[in-house]
Structure 1
Amino acid sequence: MADKFAIITGASTGIGFELATLAAKAGYDILVVADEPLIDAAADDFKQFGTDVQSVQADLSTIEGVDQLLAAAGGRQIDVLCANAGHGLGHAFLDQDLAAWRKVVDLNVVGTAYTLQKVLKQMVARNSGKVLVTGSIAGYIPGSFQAVYNGTKAFVDSFVAAIQNEIKDSNGVTLTNLMPGPVETEFFARGDMLDTSVGTDPKKSDPADVAKDGWDALMAGKASIVSGWKNKIQAAVANITPNAVLAERHRHMAEPGTAKD
């Protein structure tokens, strides 16, 4: 066993998969989780780097799922947490099923907050540990045809900044917010957004690049990192642009039927 241990959520594909790869390469024993059986195949891939790898299939949109994940750690000290699990949902809010949009809220908001509360409490008590949360520049933008998802990321971005202030006297604990823009992952297929401009955009970020930005910021103890120079510009512009304008721009990206040829 290595002398350092990391948990990575949402690790079966995309940014989470790449974060788990970086953690294993850096010599961490890892516990990876996702809500699909694919997490076990991903875990087999991570074992090539020579550290101990555990996988668990759990639904982190539920309190029970988060408890299941933490129980799988077996009481081991968590040195790094990458809270990356998240879910998107496209189409007009008024057309969405309650169960579908509530799942987004429960995973992105409740699951993230509960996981952080449980893990950060232990870290602050011993004054040691690092946490990376996958937020989004979407949190700065009213998300027409992606309203619930963007709303949850606004919560995450705000929540992380608030908790950073609350734990600022715990010098050995750092909390970092990774804020990417659109990334080439399963996100758009799972969120039923393959008929949109953003879903079919060939210029989305590479998840490996986003994960590397996040991991480097995590290790450096930075408060936040916007991944990608175009996203840095977009985040900066969003701060000075009226919400109505931002919402209209987002509509052109996320409205069904705007897919690029």
Structure 2
Amino acid sequence: MTTITNIVTFQKKGNRMTKPAILITGASSGIGATYADRFARRGHDLVLVARDAARMETLAVRLRAEAGVSIDILPADLTRTDEIAAVESRLRDDERIGILVNNAGAGLGGRFVDQSTDAIGQLITLNATSVARLASAIAPRLVARGDGAIINIGSVVGLAPEFGMSVYGATKAFVLFLSQGLAHELSQRGVYVQAVLPAATRTELWERAGADETSLPPMMDVNDLVDAALVGFDKREGITIPPLHDSSLWSAFDTARMAMLPGFGATQPAERYTP
């Protein structure tokens, strides 16, 4: 198995070599906080981004003591233009940052017809727009130096409209497509892009979305989820789906998609659409 030391750059700092720093969004709890823990224990300095500065500082104090890494706190609401701009500037200007973990996201309870237009807009801003903006902020610098990584946290819901989470699923389908597109564009320039597609994972997202905890099904533990995602990261997988035991199903899905591509160049409608 390829180890992380083979796929991330070591930068010189004084007379020693250091691993690149990692900026993680949604880092105050759940998946983001677990990524922070794991990467800190691998020896990476961190920049933690979320709205809750107090919780991030509590996490940072523990990880500084346990892992001996440097951790910066950058409070930001990624749905606010002025606040995401500060995160974008950090990604553009901080040469230490070599990996972005685009994890921040939220859910939205209820049916589409019952969700407010403003709530839908805000969800799209957080789950999709901020992911693209932050990737856009760091990608040119990573390409210029010829290495680095972008990890985008999507969801299996982005593959399953049958789950009835229309807007949330649409944002996660965007994350998957963006990740695949960026992988095609950036991989030849030395930048690795990974999309992680969790299924239901035990985090605070469900409570924030208004779900009744007593009615929730069994879920994957967040530690198991992130550890599995990092195995995929170390293998340099483009798409990592921790709950999918039969990987041939994804291969078949992708093969079927690729088989359609030649037909998209047809200049006449398919026969079944002929009047």
The two structures have a TM-score, normalised by structure 2, of 0.78
* Alignment: residue pair count: 235
Change (3 A) 1:181 1:238: farther
| Superposed counterparts of 1:67-146, under 5 Å | 67-72=85-90, 75-142=94-161, 145-146=164-165
Deviation at 1:145, TM superposition (A): 4.6
User: Which structure 2 residue ranges, 5 or more long, are not aligned?
Assistant: 1-12, 255-275
More off after superposition, 184-193 vs 68-77? 68-77
> How far did residue 168 of structure 1 move?
3.2
Matched, 1:192 2:210: yes
Deviations 1:177-210 (A, max 9, x none): 111100000011011122684xx21x20111111
Structure richer in helix, relative to its length: 2
Deviation, structure 1 residue 81: 1.1
1:130 and 1:221 in contact (8 A); partners too:
no
**Selected match of 1:224 from 239, 253, 259:** 239
**Contact 2:152–2:194, Cα closer than 8 Å, also in 1:** yes
Q: What do the CA deviations read for 1:121-173 (whole angstroms, capped 9, x no partner)?
A: 11111111011110111100115552110110011111111111122321x21
Which whole-Å CA distance do the structure 1 matches of 2:201 and 2:41 have between them? 22
For residue 218 of structure 1, report the CA deviation from its aligned partner: 2.0
- Work out whether 1:43 is the aligned partner of 2:60: yes
Alignment correspondent of 1:18: 34
- Check conservation: 1:135, 1:179, Cα contact below 8 A: yes
**Partner Cα separation in structure 2 for residue 52 and residue 173 of structure 1:** 24
| Counterpart for residue 270 of structure 2 | none
Q: Higher RCO, 1 or 2 (CA under 8 Å, sep at least 6)?
A: 1
Q: Contact between 2:154 and 2:175, CA under 8 Å: does it hold in 1?
A: yes
Distance of aligned partners of 1:39 and 1:196 in 2 relative to their CA distance in 1, 3 Å threshold: same
**Does the 8 Å contact 1:130/1:218 carry over to 2?**
no
In structure 2, C-alpha distance between the alignment counterparts of 1:232 and 1:205, rounded to whole Å: 18
**What's the CA shift string for 1:64-118, capped at 9, x where partnerless?**
3222124456623321111111111110111112222211100111000000011
Equivalent of 1:55, from 43, 62, 73?
73
Q: Is this contact kept in 2: 1:101–1:148, CA < 8 A?
A: yes
Residues 1:7 and 2:26 aligned together? no
The percentage of counterpart residues that share the same residue type is 26
Distance 1:31 1:132, change over 3 A: same
Cα distance in structure 2, aligned partners of 1:218 and 1:128: 14
Change over 3 Å in CA distance of 1:123–1:72 after alignment to 2: closer
In 1, are the aligned partners of 2:157 and 2:165 still within 8 Å (CA)?
Answer: no
TM-score under structure 1 length normalisation: 0.82
Work out whether 1:156 is the aligned partner of 2:172.
no
Which runs of 5 or more residues in structure 1 are unaligned? 240-261
State the one-letter code of the partner of 1:40: E
Provide the rounded CA distance (Å) in 2 between the counterparts of 1:139 and 1:232.
Answer: 17
1: CA distance, partners of 2:207 / 2:138:
31
CA–CA distance in structure 2, aligned partners of residues 111 and 169 of structure 1 = 25
What is the RMSD of the two structures over their aligned residues, measured on CA atoms?
2.4
Aligned to 2:265: none
